Amino acid sequence: MADDQMGASQLRQRYGKGGSAADGELSASQLRARYNIPSNSPGWASSGAGGKQDGGVPMVAVAGVAVAIILLLVWFASASA
């Protein structure tokens, strides 16, 4: 019987905590549901306890500094040649 033909109680017996399906047969989403683990959200690795996600601003600043250094090196190289 396919999962989409099972009733809710049958699905809970199969996939719920202590269910008949082995962990190796479950998808990541089903494992998270079985063990009550929250799903990953975008930016989960960079967000702090408050959920603040500001990883883009420092990245843009580093890229801007890198471009400025490259432009200065090119300018000094062309001025000394």
pLDDT for residue 37: 84
CA 65 to each of CA 4, 43, 56, 57, 76: distance values in angstroms, whole numbers, following the listed order: 55, 24, 14, 12, 16
Q: Are 64 and 57 in contact (CB under 8 A)?
A: no
Report DSSP state, residue 40.
P
| 40 phi, psi to nearest 5 deg | -70, 135
Q: Which residues in the chain come in under a pLDDT of 70?
A: 1, 41-56, 81
Rounded-to-integer distance, Cα 38 and Cα 55, Å:
22
pLDDT for residue 45: 59
pLDDT for residue 64: 94
